[in-house]
């Protein structure tokens, strides 16, 4: 918390977040800085009222250090590097709003969204974010997983989902179609074009479309929800293959499901260049809207053996490893939760554990973002710096434990967690 005027410097890719506790003025002295994705002008005084969350981001493309002058009372939450939070969140919210507006305007089946990208960069995570955001806004969605990885995780029960295995012909043994379908993601596009695996996958997609439309026609809420489709990995072209901009099945898939939006997930210049080429492809650019989301959500391995893992809860809500946390302080009036990690229940006294009443609104914490601080005690939480994030995946009413997922290895050395934004599920996961 500060009142005195302060000069803050930003390196390229660095971000600053603060809550205003009174009127705050901000002036960019030099460099390049964004506020929720909107560039700030140099020497222009910006005024923010009390209760505003300041999200300032220096683009990675900046060639020099940026300096901003802030005057007023505010509480600094975080300063992180290599973060795409504000810009990506701004685009993500705009994207969701466009999808919802399209569904309301058309009054039909709702929009079809295709999610694709390089392998293992978090397409499933992104699909979960889109589906959960839609459900929070009372839109019912259908999720279709065309990823031919047999080890792909399942979705929560409240999301209507389907996989390619669900549409295998009942007269076939699973081994033959599985082998043929799974070959789709491992062959060369030029060799697969006329193969049985492509023909079979295309047939299954047509069956999925028919089933999806039938469900939408008989269920009113589904008419506005639309369908989220996770594409096979093979559809995303290799950045090193200049001869083929995209797998030819991508165009057919867009036609089959009448896809209006295509999301590309992943970071790096290769991904960015590929998306740019696809956006300008004569076969695709007039048929759907392309959007690139430059963040990666990976499944993180936790190397510390003393951390208690619950493998059975992986995939219950988000992708990742579940870490069990002990709750020792709850302050509902301030909408804050503090968590303390312990390697053994014997290390924490019963007085330090707060019983969670599942009859109240605590289940609403599921899926929420918990900000990870560098605090060493409950007393120091209010002045601690936020250095990472976790997701609340499950609440156990018997043991009183919350199951949290850590998206980054940086969360391992620290012990205290703070939930400060209970109305937000998405933003912090956009941090790399």
Please write the tens of the pLDDT for every residue from 23-41: 888 899 888 888 766 788 8
Same domain for 209 and 263? yes
pLDDT digits (tens, 9 = 90+) for 230-262: 887 667 655 555 444 456 677 788 888 888 788
> In sequence order, what DSSP letters do the residues of 99-137 get, joined into one string?
HHHHHHHH-SS--EEEEE-STTSSHHHHHHHHHHHHHHT
The pLDDT score that the predictor gives to residue 201 is: 74
Contact call for residues 387 and 410 (beta carbons, < 8 A):
yes
The pLDDT assigned to 86 comes to 36
For residue 143, being part of any structural domain is answered with yes
Residues 14 and 2 sit within 8 Å (Cβ to Cβ): no
- CB under 8 Å to 338, separation ≥6 — which residues? 327, 328, 329, 330, 331, 378, 381, 416, 417, 418
Co-location of 199 and 336 in the same domain: no
Q: Are residues 140 and 282 in the same domain?
A: yes
- Of the candidate ranges 111-120, 201-210, 269-278, 416-425, the one whose mean pLDDT is the lowest: 416-425
Of the ranges 138-152, 187-201, 352-366, 399-413, the best mean pLDDT one: 138-152
Q: Across all residues in the chain, what is the average pLDDT?
A: 59
Which residue among 231, 258, 293 closes a domain?
293
Domain span holding position 353: 311-430
> Which of 263, 293, 323 represents a domain boundary (last residue)?
293
**CATH number for position 406:** 2.40.30
117 with 241, same domain: the answer is: yes
Do 173 and 101 belong together in one domain?
A: yes
DSSP characters over 132-168: HHHHHTT---EEEE----TTPPPPPTTSEEEEGGGGS
| Pair 43, 97 in one domain | no
Statement to judge: residues 265 and 331 lie in one domain: no
pLDDT at residue 182, rounded to an integer? 44
Count of structural domains, the chain: 3
Tell me, what's the pLDDT at 290? 76
pLDDT score for 432: 24
The CATH number given to whatever domain includes residue 118 is 3.40.50.300
48 and 151 both lie in a single domain: no
What CATH number is attached to the domain comprising 70? 2.60.120.1030
Q: Among the listed ranges 197-211, 311-325, 332-346, which one has the minimum average pLDDT value?
A: 311-325
Q: Do 200 and 326 share a domain, yes or no?
A: no
Shared domain for 335 and 388, answered yes or no, is yes
Instruction: Please tell me whether residues 76 and 107 are part of one structural domain.
Output: no
| pTM of structure | 0.50
DSSP 2: B
Same domain, yes or no, for 228 and 286?
yes
Tell whether the model's pLDDT for residue 164 goes beyond 70: no
Handedness of CA 403, 407, 412, 414 (dihedral sign): negative
């Amino acid at each position: 918390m500060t009142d005195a005027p302060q000069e803050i410097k930003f390196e390229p890719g660095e971000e600053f977040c603060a809550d205003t506790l009174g009127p705050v003025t901000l002036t960019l002295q030099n460099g390049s800085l964004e506020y929720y994705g909107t560039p700030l002008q140099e020497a222009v005084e910006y005024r923010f009222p009390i209760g505003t969350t300041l999200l300032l981001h220096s683009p990675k493309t900046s060639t020099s250090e940026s300096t901003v002058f802030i005057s007023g009372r505010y509480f600094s939450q975080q300063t992180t590097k290599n973060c795409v939070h504000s810009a990506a969140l701004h685009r993500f919210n705009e994207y969701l709003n466009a999808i919802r507006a399209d569904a309301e305007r058309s009054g039909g089946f709702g929009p079809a969204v295709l999610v694709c990208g390089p392998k293992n960069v978090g397409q499933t995570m992104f699909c979960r974010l889109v589906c959960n955001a839609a459900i929070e806004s009372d839109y019912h969605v259908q999720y279709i997983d065309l990823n031919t990885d047999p080890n792909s995780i399942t979705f929560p029960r409240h999301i209507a989902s389907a996989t390619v295995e669900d549409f295998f012909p009942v007269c076939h043994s699973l081994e033959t179609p599985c082998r043929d379908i799974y070959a789709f993601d491992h062959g060369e596009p030029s060799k697969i074009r006329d193969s049985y695996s492509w023909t079979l996958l295309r047939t299954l997609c047509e069956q999925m479309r028919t089933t999806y439309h039938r469900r939408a026609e008989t269920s009113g809420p589904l008419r506005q929800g639309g369908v989220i489709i996770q594409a096979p990995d093979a559809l995303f072209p290799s950045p090193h293959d200049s001869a083929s901009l995209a797998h030819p099945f991508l165009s057919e898939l867009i036609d089959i499901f009448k896809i209006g939006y295509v999301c590309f997930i992943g970071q790096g210049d290769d991904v960015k260049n590929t998306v740019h080429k696809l956006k300008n492809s004569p076969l695709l650019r007039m048929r759907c809207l392309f959007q690139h989301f430059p963040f990666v959500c990976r499944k993180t391995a936790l190397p510390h053996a003393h951390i208690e893992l619950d493998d059975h809860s992986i995939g219950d809500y988000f992708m990742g490893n579940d870490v069990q946390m002990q709750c020792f302080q709850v302050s509902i009036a301030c909408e804050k939760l503090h968590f303390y990690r312990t390697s053994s229940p014997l290390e924490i006294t019963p007085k330090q554990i707060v019983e969670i009443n599942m009859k109240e609104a605590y289940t609403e914490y599921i899926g929420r973002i918990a900000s990870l601080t560098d605090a060493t005690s409950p007393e120091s939480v209010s002045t601690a710096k936020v250095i990472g994030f976790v997701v609340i995946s499950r609440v156990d009413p018997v043991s009183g434990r919350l199951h949290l997922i850590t998206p980054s290895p940086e969360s391992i050395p620290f012990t205290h967690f703070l939930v400060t934004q209970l109305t937000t599920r998405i933003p912090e996961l956009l941090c790399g």
